[in-house]
Each structure stands twice: as structure tokens, then as C-alpha cells.
């Protein structure tokens, strides 16, 4: 039985997301424009770097999110303006006290092994699977005090207090629904089923030749009649950036995403008649990049040293000359496209003289070679542009007397060293997930200092920041949350725990015959059940 406190007003307010369809091209609109969906064809695309596994939750690195979002689904998806839209939940409602959320689930959904999808899968995924595997999800789902399975296709969650960004947690990239009959009672990370993921999405896993390709095939029992349109999706593993560029240019692949194409190659694709460059589709993630500083070490503990590094780096140069305009200079610890970004926030300006003055104040005088201090920088292994960034940082910091030794590793080694705090400096970028409580707080709150990647691995701790993030989580009023996050940004900029550099845009390049590629605020992380090749 649905919670009696649910109101019609609550239903209307939350179902407004479902009514936001005009941001997407419907099938009728597509046919009216002479581009009616056509069934058939294989989409060949790329994945960079190769992910370690394709089970969301077990691994949440960028390449895993891109590919596995075709296999798994969330309860909702999000428009470019972050309005919730139906996915495995066909509708949802909220109680008058804003504590109870009820999801009515799609009927006739099957897992790829033929088992029916039910509310128990939703309960298990939220309360057990992601609660154990994902620190960010756990921080939100611990607020749930009661779960009620109303029937096989209806489930209610009651929170200990109102939590404004709760719905933002139910995109596939944040909380993919996992099959309880496969994982319940097992070691989730080491379950043998991880080698052949089973989801409810439009494409089912077929094979993975490591270092070569991942192949997915249309799931014939998919719950949306007549969909998906594509027969297969093949993700090719092409380590070399110039080989990826040539594969896309010559039509061997029809789609690139995220890091596949280096920013300095994007201008060429904008001029080609057979390709289209799209710079939207990252509104939900709003990726923000920074230099991560291990504050347990030597002078890195001193805010003056971190601020000196910030003054030595030209963020506009990075955005324009390294990313060729496919990035924006960062202005705050909260990306400009994320809720509660303070447009008046100001990071330290590019000013090498100010940097050297701070280093002088610390007593770090230059030696005969002009070196004041030496540090090691672990390069992010996500493509040539990140290597170029590390080279630029080495040169920029050397100009103020900071000598930088670059260290290299593969993607797995980088994550392992980040998680184990085995670095001095490294370059990182993290998704913000639409709200600072979901994607920003995890990097700075002291309770999240863990030996797990994408937590507070820098070791930053400030009781005032902890208090402010706690207040923002508990506050139900948007205006009051905005004021709290304004204080958060000011305090973080004063403490400079990280050196924020750029906001990433990640252009998507695709064959012009490929339709419906970027429609959501999650871009290429959509299920692709409505993507097709025009004749």
C-alpha cells in the first residue's frame, strides 16, 4: 500500500520531470523531420582507457560508466536541465513531509537471463549492493530509515529527514539497479558473474577480448517495444590517440566520447562534412579537474605552498592552449554548471611574483640552480593531453623554483596509488553529480578520508567545512542551501586544499548518420535504446 501521506501535489511536482519530454526528440518528432528510426546496424565506437570490469558499483571509473550504461539502468534519467525522467521507474511521488519517496516500476521488465525485474531488485541494489560498494551512495542511502515493498512493482523509501537532492542519486551512473538473484549473499567484488554482466538495459553483454574489443547485442526481450534499434554495439580498445583519430576520420568507428579524441584534434572534426561535434551532454557530471595535493607530506601541508602553486599556474592557458576551448578555466571548487556555484567566487590569479613571495615567506630560498623545493607529480594516464598538462605544470612550477619530477603509470596503477595515498601531487578530475552534497562534499569532508579512490584522498580536514556540508545536507530550503554553499566555497578557496584548474566539456564526435546520440544531461551515458542510423 502506498504511504497515505503522499499527496497529489507531490505527485505533480515530481512527475514534472516526466513531462519534460520536449527536451528530447520523440519518435513522432523524428518521423515528422524525415528521420524515422531505422532498425539495424552495428555501432562501432571506442573506449579509453580499457575498464577493469563492466559492473557498475563494482567499478565506477569513467570508461565503465560509458559502456555499462548500455547494460544496466537506473530508476530515472535526467534532461539537460537535470529534470528527472522515467526509466525503470515509470513514475514517482513524494510525501507532504518530503521524507517518503514511492517509485512505481515499469512492468514486464526482464533481466538478460530471463528472470523478472521486481521491487526486491531495487531494494537490494540500494540497501545492500551500493551501500556496501559505493562510499558516495552510502552517504546518501544511510538516510533511509524504512523500506516498504508495496508490491512487485512498487517500492517506498522513507528518509530520516528531507533531503533535497535525493532523486539525483538514481541515474544509472550513480545507482545502477543490480540483479538480486545474482548478487545477494555473495562477495560482490569477486562474484564470478562480474565477468558476464547481467542487466535490464537494451544491450546484453556478448564477449570481451581484452585489449581488443567489447561486444554487446540487442536484447530481444527489452521492455520498450520495438527497441533498441541497433543490432550491436562494439567498443574497440585503441590505446593510441592518433589511431583513434584516424579510425573516426575514416569511418572505422562512428562515435567517440570523453577522452577518445584529444582536444587538439577537435577543430579538424568540426570542419569535416561527415562528422558532428557536440559539446553538451555533461550537465549532470560537470567534471572539474585539479591538482591533488597529499597534505600528509612535508611542505604540502602548508597552505602558503599550495597557494603559491595556484598563483604559478595559468588556468586560461590550460583551457585555451591545451584543451583548445573544450574546457573552461575553473573559478571555484564547485563547477559553474553545478547547482549553488557562486559566480562571485575567485581563485588565486595567475601571478608568479605572488607565488615567489609566498615561497620566500616560507623560507624556501632558491639554491644555485634556482630550486626552492622538489616534488613528484603522478601523471593522469588518460591520454596525451593529460601528459601535456603535466609537462606544462612542470614548466610553470619550475618558473617559481618548484622542481617537479613526473611519474607515469597505467590507469589501474594510478587508481591504486591514489587510493593508497602513494603520491605527492597528481592530476585528477571528479564528477559533481548535479549537487555539491552528492559530488563535491566527498572530496573535502574529514569523515571521508579513506584509502578508496575518489574520496578525500588528499587528507584535508577542517571542522568548519564538515559542519557546513552537514548543514547543507540537512537544510530543505534551496535559498538557505545556497548561502551555506557560498560559505563553503569561500572557505575552501582560503584553505586551498587542491589546486583547481579547469572544467571539462568533453566533446562527443559522431557520424552524422547516427541519430539521437546526445539527448540527456548524461550524454553518452544514456542507454542508447533510441539511437539509430539514418538511411
Per-residue model confidence (pLDDT) at position 15: 40
Percentage with pLDDT > 70 across the chain? 94
Per-residue model confidence (pLDDT) at position 256: 97
Per-residue model confidence (pLDDT) at position 30: 54
What is the number of helices (H) and of strands (E) in the chain?
18, 21
| Inside any domain, residue 17 | no
Tell me: do 151 and 217 sit in the same domain.
no
Tell me: do 55 and 90 sit in the same domain.
no
Choose the final residue of a domain: 271, 305, 330. Answer: 271
Q: Are the C-beta atoms of residues 241 and 383 closer than 8 Å to each other?
A: yes
Per-residue model confidence (pLDDT) at position 29: 52
C-alpha grid cell, residue 409: 603509470
Tell me: do 40 and 107 sit in the same domain.
no
Burial 444-466 (b: 16+ CB within 10 A, else e): bbeebbeebbbbbbbbbbbeebb
Tell me: do 240 and 101 sit in the same domain.
no
Tell me: do 327 and 261 sit in the same domain.
no
Per-residue model confidence (pLDDT) at position 382: 86
Per-residue model confidence (pLDDT) at position 134: 86
Please choose, from the candidates 46, 533, 45, 66, the residue with its C-alpha nearest in 3D space to the C-alpha of residue 281.
Answer: 66
| Inside any domain, residue 78 | yes
| Inside any domain, residue 1 | no
Q: What is the CATH number of the domain that holds 423?
A: 3.10.105.10
Question: Residue 409 and residue 464: Cα distance in Å, rounded?
Answer: 36
Per-residue model confidence (pLDDT) at position 450: 93
Tell me: do 500 and 466 sit in the same domain.
yes
Per-residue model confidence (pLDDT) at position 18: 38
Choose the final residue of a domain: 209, 241, 271. Answer: 271
Contacts 24+ apart (CB under 8 A), 459-462: 459/294, 459/295, 459/296, 459/421, 460/295, 460/495, 460/497, 460/498, 462/491, 462/495
Return the SS3 of 455: coil
Give how many domains the chain has, as a whole number: 3
| Inside any domain, residue 5 | no
Tell me: do 414 and 452 sit in the same domain.
yes
Helix (H) or strand (E) holding 31: helix 27-32
Tell me: do 317 and 425 sit in the same domain.
yes
| Inside any domain, residue 533 | no
pLDDT in tens, 328-337: 999 999 999 8
pLDDT in tens, 139-187: 899 999 999 999 999 999 999 999 999 999 999 999 999 999 999 999 9
Question: Residue 469 and residue 458: Cα distance in Å, rounded?
Answer: 18
Return the SS3 of 116: strand
Domain containing 179 equals: 73-197
Per-residue model confidence (pLDDT) at position 411: 83
- Supply the pTM of this predicted model: 0.85
| Inside any domain, residue 308 | yes
Per-residue model confidence (pLDDT) at position 517: 97
Q: Going from the first residue of the chain to its last (535 residues), give the mean pLDDT of each consecutive group of 10, the final group possibly shorter.
A: 36 38 46 74 94 94 94 97 96 96 98 98 98 88 97 98 94 97 97 97 98 98 98 96 95 94 95 95 96 96 98 98 95 95 97 98 97 98 93 98 97 93 97 93 95 94 98 92 98 98 96 97 97 94
| Inside any domain, residue 279 | no
Question: Residue 305 and residue 356: Cα distance in Å, rounded?
Answer: 10
- The 10 Å Cβ neighbour count of residue 6 is 17
Helix (H) or strand (E) holding 490: helix 478-495
Q: Are the C-beta atoms of residues 106 and 92 closer than 8 Å to each other?
A: no
Tell me: do 79 and 125 sit in the same domain.
yes
Tell me: do 55 and 111 sit in the same domain.
no
Q: What is the CATH number of the domain that holds 82?
A: 3.90.76.10
Tell me: do 62 and 77 sit in the same domain.
no
| Inside any domain, residue 304 | yes
Tell me: do 467 and 381 sit in the same domain.
yes
Quick check: bond before 405 cis, omega within 30?
no
Choose the final residue of a domain: 180, 197, 214. Answer: 197
Q: What is the CATH number of the domain that holds 241?
A: 3.40.190.10
Task: Tell me the residue length of the chain.
Answer: 535
- The 10 Å Cβ neighbour count of residue 67 is 25
C-alpha grid cell, residue 301: 601541508
Question: Residue 153 and residue 108: Cα distance in Å, rounded?
Answer: 10
Return the SS3 of 444: coil
Amino acid at each position: 500500500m502506498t504511504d497515505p501521506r503522499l499527496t497529489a501535489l507531490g505527485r505533480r511536482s515530481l512527475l514534472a520531470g516526466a513531462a519534460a519530454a520536449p527536451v528530447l526528440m520523440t519518435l513522432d518528432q523524428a518521423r515528422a523531420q524525415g528521420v524515422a528510426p531505422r532498425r539495424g546496424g552495428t555501432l562501432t565506437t571506442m573506449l579509453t582507457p580499457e575498464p577493469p570490469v563492466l559492473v557498475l558499483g563494482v567499478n565506477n571509473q569513467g570508461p565503465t560508466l560509458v559502456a555499462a550504461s548500455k547494460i544496466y539502468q537506473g530508476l530515472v534519467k535526467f534532461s539537460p536541465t537535470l529534470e528527472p525522467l522515467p526509466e525503470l521507474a515509470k513514475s514517482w511521488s513524494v510525501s507532504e513531509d518530503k521524507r517518503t519517496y514511492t517509485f512505481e516500476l515499469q512492468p514486464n521488465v526482464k533481466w538478460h537471463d530471463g528472470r523478472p525485474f521486481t521491487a526486491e531488485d531495487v531494494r537490494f541494489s540500494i540497501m545492500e549492493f551500493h551501500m556496501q560498494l559505493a562510499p558516495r551512495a552510502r552517504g546518501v542511502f544511510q538516510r533511509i530509515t524504512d523500506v516498504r515493498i508495496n508490491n512487485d512493482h512498487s517500492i517506498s523509501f522513507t528518509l530520516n529527514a528531507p533531503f533535497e537532492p535525493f532523486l539525483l542519486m538514481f541515474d544509472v551512473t550513480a545507482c545502477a539497479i543490480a540483479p538480486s538473484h545474482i548478487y545477494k549473499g555473495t562477495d560482490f567484488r569477486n562474484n564470478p558473474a562480474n565477468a558476464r554482466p547481467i542487466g535490464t538495459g537494451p544491450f546484453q553483454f556478448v564477449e570481451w577480448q581484452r585489449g581488443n574489443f567489447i561486444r554487446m547485442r540487442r536484447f530481444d526481450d527489452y521492455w520498450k517495444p520495438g527497441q533498441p534499434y541497433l543490432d550491436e554495439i562494439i567498443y574497440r580498445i585503441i590505446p593510441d590517440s592518433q589511431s583513434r583519430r584516424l579510425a573516426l576520420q575514416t569511418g572505422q568507428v562512428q562515435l567517440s566520447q570523453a577522452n577518445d579524441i584529444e582536444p587538439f584534434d577537435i577543430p579538424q572534426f568540426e570542419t569535416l562534412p561527415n562528422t558532428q561535434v557536440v559539446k553538451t551532454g555533461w550537465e549532470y557530471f560537470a567534471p572539474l579537474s585539479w591538482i591533488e595535493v597529499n597534505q600528509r607530506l612535508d611542505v604540502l601541508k602548508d597552505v602558503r605552498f599550495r597557494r603559491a602553486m595556484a598563483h604559478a599556474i595559468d588556468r586560461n592557458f590550460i583551457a585555451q592552449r591545451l584543451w583548445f576551448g573544450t574546457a573552461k578555466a575553473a573559478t571555484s571548487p564547485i563547477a559553474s554548471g553545478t547547482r549553488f556555484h557562486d559566480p562571485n567566487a575567485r581563485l588565486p590569479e595567475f601571478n608568479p611574483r605572488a607565488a615567489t613571495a609566498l615561497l620566500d615567506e616560507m623560507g624556501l630560498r632558491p639554491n644555485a640552480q634556482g630550486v626552492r623545493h622538489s616534488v613528484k607529480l603522478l601523471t593522469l594516464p588518460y591520454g596525451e593531453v593529460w601528459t601535456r598538462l603535466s609537462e606544462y605544470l612542470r614548466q610553470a612550477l619550475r618558473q617559481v623554483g618548484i622542481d617537479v619530477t613526473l611519474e607515469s603509470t597505467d590507469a589501474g596503477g594510478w587508481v591504486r596509488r591514489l587510493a593508497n595515498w602513494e603520491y605527492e601531487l597528481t592530476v585528477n578530475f571528479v564528477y559533481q553529480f548535479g549537487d555539491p552534497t552528492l559530488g563535491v562534499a566527498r572530496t573535502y569532508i574529514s569523515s571521508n578520508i579513506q584509502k578508496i579512490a575518489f574520496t578525500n584522498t588528499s587528507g584535508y580536514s577542517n571542522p568548519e567545512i564538515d559542519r557546513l556540508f552537514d548543514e547543507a545536507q540537512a537544510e530543505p530550503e534551496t535559498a538557505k542551501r545556497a548561502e551555506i554553499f557560498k560559505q563553503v566555497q569561500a572557505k575552501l578557496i582560503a584553505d586551498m586544499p587542491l589546486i583547481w584548474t579547469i572544467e571539462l566539456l568533453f566533446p562527443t564526435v559522431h557520424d552524422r548518420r547516427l541519430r539521437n546520440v546526445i539527448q540527456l544531461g548524461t550524454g553518452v551515458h544514456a542507454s542508447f535504446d533510441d539511437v539509430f542510423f539514418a538511411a
